[in-house]
Amino acid sequence: MRRIIPLIALVLTAPAAAQQQRAPFTIAETGEGFATINDAVQSVRMGTATILIAPGVYHQCTVQQGGNITFKAIQPGTAIFEGTACEDKAAFVLRGQRAAVDGLVFRGMQVSDGNGAGIRTEMGDLTVTNSTFLDSQEGILGGEPSGQRITIDHSTFSGLGQCDQSPSCSHAIYLANQGSVTITNSRFERGTGGHYVKLRVPHATISNNSFDDTAGHKTNYMIDLPEGGTGLISGNTFVQGRDKENWTAFIVVAAEHQNYTAAGLRVESNVASLAPGETRSPAFVADYSHEQLALGANRLGAGVRAFEKR
């Protein structure tokens, strides 16, 4: 009898494994499976659902038109969306009521206008956790002219950005809204052009992240707040690399024009340095707003000037 038990177990589990292979996208609340991510998304309509995503490399994309959807990898880091963009924009084009992305990998996103992204957010709040964005024109792009709230936590952005494939640059993260953006506990590295973080928002929190530009290529600022903004930049580590298109500052405020007050923007408890052997003298914070920023204590390496008013 003991010899038969493994055979029975095999018979019982094989159909389940085959079903998962045929339908790697499962609605957690109902158990219904789908062969494509877009079929799963469209089934939600205006409802609320969690889509569980099996390990695999998917040359697929989706457009969320409504509802509250969580996209969750069954095993973080093993569900990979590669090289396929919907609407010539991104792997995930999001314009529902809300979206959350947990544990997914996006890589190799290229589109004709130079803004190929893992995620394009066009409507609704967005939360991204434990996710990775690799070797693409852009990591996360978009926003909406409302009080949208975007939160990014424990995620990695590597090999992103460009300034030579289109008239304007792309960036690892480029977001705009009338609400807020929060970026925490994340890693930025090996940029390939543009800025690591560019935000056109009235309020930003950027805390406890790592910006490692030592292997960057033709990169610009670590953080660009081109229209001003208040909030907190704290607890981050910055290393500026050698291969820069613009090395003059780490953090820049209101360089393009000022739509938002920067008064009281707190920049404190950060660490910033130059790659070994560099002799430049960039500003840690360059301010075009001429407002009273709240600059606290930051630990700056040799050659890094604390502040510059432009």
pLDDT in tens, 96-128: 999 999 999 999 999 999 999 999 999 999 999
pLDDT reported for residue 76: 98
Question: Mean pLDDT, the chain, as a whole number?
Answer: 93
Residue 121, CA distances (Å) to 72, 94, 124, 252, 271 in order: 17, 5, 8, 24, 31
**Whether the Cβ atoms of residue 229 and residue 264 lie closer than 8 Å to each other:** no
Model pTM score:
0.93
Q: What's the CA gap between 103 and 74, in Å, rounded?
A: 8
Q: Is 13 exposed, middle or buried (0-12, 13-18, 19+ CB in 10 A)?
A: exposed
- CA-based torsion, 298, 130, 159, 136: positive or negative: negative
pLDDT reported for residue 7: 32
pLDDT at 18 over 60: no
Token representation of residue 284: 């840690």
Token representation of residue 96: 């529902």
